A and B are shown apart, each in its own frame.
Chain A
Amino acid sequence: MPSNGVPYPIFVYAGILPWTLFSTGVTRGVNSIVAYAGLVGKIYFPREILVVAAVLGGFIDFMFGFLIFILMMIYYQVPLTFNILYIFVILLAMFFLTMGISLALSAFNVFVRDINHVVPIVVQIWMYASPIIYPLSAIPPRYLNFYVMNPVVGLLEAFRNIFAIGIAPNLTYLGYSFFGSIIIFVIGYKIFKKLETKFADVI
């Protein structure tokens, strides 16, 4: 497997780390409303809080994983550059993306409970459709435009570029993912708000 000259553990971990952030956020987020059925059916409070809490839980996990990542980078003597400052853009986009998907799915899950069983499988497939164990360069160029429609691609690639390789991210892909994430967030939030009014009756 090509790893662009980066030590393979660093290469893979730089993909797995942000991916885990995304996937745990989504798998937890889906269940967040249903898991607190008792609360939702009885007390009024902004229901989004439950989803935010679930998604932020993934960010806490990420921080611990990130510490290990730093130790690995020291061990493998991977140099740090100022490009790592892009991480704030990546994390922000990641938050919007995870929230958007979680909001919509957690709301659907109230109505059709089986969604939480489907999500882990979809996430698993999604993982293989993202540049985690392979680099973006492994994708044949003619499929590339199609491939980057996956909003995670730009974020994962940017994360790997700024840490493992130490170069600036591809701003086209990152920008695409960033705005894609915000659009997904807005749509997810709208769906959530629309369905929220029925939660207490259905849950």
Chain B
Amino acid sequence: MKEEPVVQVRNLGKVYSRKPNFLKPSYWLHYLSRNKHQLMSDEFWALKNINFELKKGECIGIIGKNGAGKSTILKILAKVTEPTIGGYLCNGKLGALIEVGAGFHPEMTGRENIYLNGSILGMSKQEINAKFKSIVDFAEMWDFIDTPIKKYSSGMYVRLGFATAIHTEPDILLVDEILAVGDENFRVKCYNKIRELMDKGVCIILVTHQMYLVRRYCDRVVYLKKGQIEFQGDKDKAVEMYLKENFEVEKLKQVNTGVEILSKRIFDKTGKERASFKTGEDIFIDVELNFPKKLKGNMIRFWLTRPGGYGDIPSIFVSEPVSSLLGKKKIKFKIKKNPLCSGNFVLGLAILDKNSKFALMKGDLLVFEIIGGDPEAIVEMPFELEVITKP
């Protein structure tokens, strides 16, 4: 028997305007009498030809660069905005963890806000009454439940919002990058809750930049690129594609010194190019550089950090002095039995001249992904636990 899809998205398209001028009559004439495929000069397709479906209990991941249209899909499914063309079908109650706590009123207490937000999210008063204890338990908020939430910390705010939203008992849950908030304990709790819902047969649409989440939860992945589906299907393939495309294809030129990165490869011990590695594997990196002018007294430096790092996020440095450089040079190095933890890593490369100025500075030379290990940490410290004296 063929199972009915719970969510079905067909030929969905959404047009946004870069700079709408609502005072111009032409805007409204166009809006009222629009040929939906014909765009005005300042319009563009934020989404186009989106097709996918979800069966009961499935989890689909939506990945893509910023502005690829991920959140727009969720907004359309959540009925916040309407598609310009195409349609979608949701068989079941929809729950959205898009902006938790969006409906909170700062002057009201946590208790009142649970009722307020719960009703905005479509729960009846009896339902909220029945779940109230469970919500507050989940948010661990008993101490401050009667405090106006303007006094809450941002973490408390999110906890309360998440707890309320997750208790709406949806059949379809939209999750947008929400798990990036809250402290460690709470995050683990959220993961477990989502897992629990999945086991109950709730469909999940997960939008995230964290590839380890995609690997951990999703059955399939939709990879969006500039509003269109670039790839749909196997998650490992999609993640690999995403990492490769978005962090490698870039013009790599340093204008003032003329130092150029000619090529770069990241591969495993068999020589196969890869974008993701397991903790403990050896990682090899080759970089080919061209020095048009002679550079003297240099230092070459590599570092590893989480995306967005080099600065406030801790990084791991390796610096190596090098003699004068001229012409094409190849640098090879390896991360021996990498101790890195799950998540994306960015590899940076810099070449310093004798005055310690950057002759080349490339913060995002390569991006790769690590699977295994605690995603909250960066590296795993080797340690052994041993019983010395037995009782």
- Whether A44 touches B102, Cβ cut-off 8 Å, given contacts A111-B22, A112-B22, is no
Per-position binary interface string of chain B over residues 71-111, scored 1 when its CB falls under 8 Å from any chain A CB and 0 otherwise: 00001001111100000000000001011001100000000
> Is B22 touching A42 in the complex (CB atoms < 8 A)?
no
CB of A197 closer than 8 Å to a CB of B: yes
> Is B80 touching A200 in the complex (CB atoms < 8 A)?
yes
- Whether A42 touches B102, Cβ cut-off 8 Å, given contacts A112-B22, A201-B16, A202-B20, is yes
> Is A44 touching B20 in the complex (CB atoms < 8 A)?
no
Number of residues in B with C-beta < 8 Å to the partner?
18
> Is A42 touching B23 in the complex (CB atoms < 8 A)?
no
CB of A43 closer than 8 Å to a CB of B: yes
Complex formed: what's the CA distance from A196 to B98 in Å?
A: 20
Secondary structure class of chain A's binding surface, majority of residues: loop
**20 CB-based A-B contacts, threshold 8 Å:** A38-B102, A39-B103, A39-B120, A41-B80, A43-B78, A43-B80, A43-B96, A43-B99, A43-B102, A43-B120, A43-B121, A44-B78, A44-B79, A45-B120, A112-B23, A197-B82, A198-B31, A200-B75, A201-B81, A202-B20
Measured between beta carbons, the chain A residues less than 8 angstroms from B78 are: 43-44
Residue numbers of A with Cβ under 8 A of B are 38-39, 41-45, 111-112, 197-198, 200-202
**Minimum Cβ distance to chain A for residue B215 (Å):** 28
> Is B80 touching A44 in the complex (CB atoms < 8 A)?
yes
Secondary structure class of chain B's binding surface, majority of residues: loop
The 9 closest A-B pairs by CB, nearest first: A44-B79, A200-B81, A111-B22, A42-B102, A42-B99, A197-B82, A200-B80, A44-B80, A39-B103
- Contacts across chains A and B counted by CB atoms under 8 Å: 36
Measured between beta carbons, the chain B residues less than 8 angstroms from A201 are: 16, 81
Complex formed: what's the CA distance from A97 to B81 in Å?
A: 28
8 Å CB contact of B98 from A42, A111, A202: A42
Residue of B nearest to A40 (CB): B80
Complex formed: what's the CA distance from A192 to B78 in Å?
A: 20
Measured between beta carbons, the chain B residues less than 8 angstroms from A202 are: 20, 22
Residue of A nearest to B31 (CB): A198
Measured between beta carbons, the chain A residues less than 8 angstroms from B99 are: 42-43
Residue of B nearest to A44 (CB): B79
Complex formed: what's the CA distance from A202 to B21 in Å?
A: 11
> Is A39 touching B22 in the complex (CB atoms < 8 A)?
no
> Is A39 touching B102 in the complex (CB atoms < 8 A)?
yes
A-B contacts besides A39-B103, A43-B78, A43-B102, 15 pairs, CB < 8 Å: A38-B102, A39-B120, A41-B80, A42-B102, A43-B80, A43-B98, A43-B99, A43-B120, A45-B120, A112-B22, A197-B82, A200-B75, A200-B80, A201-B81, A202-B22
Measured between beta carbons, the chain B residues less than 8 angstroms from A197 are: 81-82
Residue of A nearest to B102 (CB): A42
Complex formed: what's the CA distance from A198 to B98 in Å?
A: 19
Complex formed: what's the CA distance from A43 to B95 in Å?
A: 10
> Is A43 touching B16 in the complex (CB atoms < 8 A)?
no
**Minimum Cβ distance to chain A for residue B260 (Å):** 43
**Minimum Cβ distance to chain A for residue B158 (Å):** 14
Measured between beta carbons, the chain B residues less than 8 angstroms from A41 are: 80
Measured between beta carbons, the chain B residues less than 8 angstroms from A42 are: 80, 98-99, 102
